[in-house]
Amino acid sequence: MTKPGLATPVEMNEKTMTINCDIAIIGGGPVGASLALALRDSGLKVCVLEARPANAASNDARALALSYGSRLLLERIGIWKTLQDVSAIRAIHISQRQSFGRALLHATELNVPELGYVLPYPTLQDALGSALLHSHVTAIYSANVCRLEGEAGCATIEYLQDGAEHTLRAQLAVVADGGKLLAQQYPPEVRDYGQSALITHITCSAPQTGTAYERFTAQGPVALLPFQNGYELVWTAPHQFAQEMLTWDDAKFQGELQRHFGDRVGDFLSVDKRTCFPLGLKRAPQLTPMPHTVLLGNAAQTMHPVAGQGFNMGLRDAWELAQEILDASPETLGTDAMLAAYRTQRRTDREAGIRFTDGLVRLFSNDLPLVSAARGAALSALDCLPFAKSFVAKRMMFGANG
């Protein structure tokens, strides 16, 4: 059944176009697109504003680490079965360099088929984009949003498309573009960890099928995520050293990685193109900085990639916001009361996820002897205590609300 709302037919004149809709999503990346697809059969008029041109190929080289919980959400919006090139994570090996203690998490011990999955970012983006094209969602590409204002009854968005100015009014504006749009008006809390992440694909002589590795070092964590014929590598290091690693030839890079990580997967045989990006914690001051507006995914929080929580939390943001929207009566859509209910629903998971990743970085990115011994003891205890192992694994798969 169609819900009544703000949506009316598109109004146009010679120079501008004005659109009224129920939900406007600024940013058509995986989080914004997932929200749109979760609402596609709601009867609401949903518009997605995406800066990229239609059908533009993604140049994002990252691999995504999806939790099992994220798989369940992608199944609910009809995307999971369309994904190709997905590699399963059935075990996670956690250790620290030059110290005792390790923990091993197994899917079979937790009664789930897999703990998580690895796939290229463009694979998910393309699948979501294709689903949007075949839905009732209005996707507006090459739309560069230049202003967002929350007013008493709606949010007003101004954007440029092909040199023309357009206006969109919505009962709820969802900022899912990374947060740059509102950063000057509402500066986020930012913490620079002094680290960058170097990412690439590697092959090795003894890959352990389905096993991911998280190895903590004084420089920062090193993650090997099983993918196809090798691993997606995320090597965290101080900014200057990470930039230096980009200049190494392949032989030097493989040798240094061998010394840094060890021989759990045998010898490293090849390395692909390397890219690097800085790491930090960014947290918006609040999830609704202005009326009829809400922040989602990286616009609300950007976290260190340790334990692979960032995108998975963003997907949970999208799903739970969709449920609040679907449960809202037409007159309450986008109101302070509705958004306060969403903030309350997300607060525990959001704060717990931020504390978890921030705490891991702070606790493990040092080589203090007493701290190292305590970490080793904690990893050994985690490995021996089923209830502790289950608690950590469920947090990684489903978040604090799971």
**95 and 197 both lie in a single domain:** yes
Compute and round to an integer the Cα radius of gyration of the chain.
22
Q: pTM score, two decimals?
A: 0.91
Q: List all residues 6 or more positions away from 395 whose beta carbon is below 8 Å from its beta carbon.
A: 352, 356, 402
**232 and 329 both lie in a single domain:** no
In a domain, 1, yes or no: no
CATH number at residue 234: 3.30.9.10
pLDDT of residue 14: 43
- In order along its 402 residues, the chain shows pLDDT tens digits of 334 334 333 344 445 578 899 999 999 999 999 999 999 999 999 999 999 998 777 777 678 999 999 999 999 999 999 998 899 999 999 988 877 778 999 999 989 999 999 999 999 999 999 999 999 999 999 999 999 999 888 999 999 999 899 999 999 999 998 777 887 788 888 899 999 999 999 999 999 999 999 998 888 899 999 999 999 999 999 999 999 999 999 999 999 999 999 999 999 999 999 999 999 999 987 666 689 999 999 999 999 888 788 899 999 999 999 999 999 998 999 999 999 999 999 999 999 999 988 888 887 776 666 677 777 787 888 888 888 889 888 989 999 886
pLDDT of residue 11: 42
How many structural domains comprise the chain?
2
**106 and 132 both lie in a single domain:** no
Cα torsion at 244, 245, 247, 251 (round to 10°)? 140
Of 251, 278, 305, the one marking the end of a domain is 278
In a domain, 370, yes or no: no
In a domain, 366, yes or no: no
Q: In 3D, which of 349, 338, 296 has the Cα closest to residue 38?
A: 296
**209 and 246 both lie in a single domain:** yes
**239 and 345 both lie in a single domain:** no
CA distance 101 to 349: 28
In a domain, 24, yes or no: yes
pLDDT of residue 400: 85
Quickly count: other Cβ atoms within 10 Å of residue 77's Cβ. Answer: 21
**148 and 50 both lie in a single domain:** yes
| 3-class DSSP state of 196 | strand
In a domain, 390, yes or no: no
pLDDT of residue 397: 93
pLDDT of residue 196: 95
Of 257, 278, 299, the one marking the end of a domain is 278
Task: At 271, list the tokens.
Answer: 């390395």
CATH number at residue 150: 3.50.50.60
In a domain, 385, yes or no: no
**30 and 156 both lie in a single domain:** yes
pLDDT of residue 2: 38
CB neighbour class for 276 (10 Å; exposed up to 12, middle 13-18, buried from 19): middle
pLDDT of residue 13: 41
Q: Work out whether strand 222-227 and strand 211-216 pair parallel, antiparallel, or are unpaired.
A: antiparallel
CA distance 98 to 59: 37
Q: Which domain holds residue 42?
A: 8-58+123-188+281-360
pLDDT of residue 29: 93
CA distance 267 to 393: 29
Q: Work out whether strand 144-150 and strand 230-238 pair parallel, antiparallel, or are unpaired.
A: unpaired
**213 and 343 both lie in a single domain:** no
**54 and 158 both lie in a single domain:** yes
| 3-class DSSP state of 339 | helix
pLDDT of residue 3: 40
**198 and 332 both lie in a single domain:** no
**105 and 148 both lie in a single domain:** no
In a domain, 382, yes or no: no
| 3-class DSSP state of 86 | coil
**271 and 289 both lie in a single domain:** no
pLDDT of residue 368: 66
pLDDT of residue 174: 96
pLDDT of residue 132: 94
Of 254, 278, 302, the one marking the end of a domain is 278
In a domain, 2, yes or no: no
Return the bridge partners of 232, or none: 201, 225
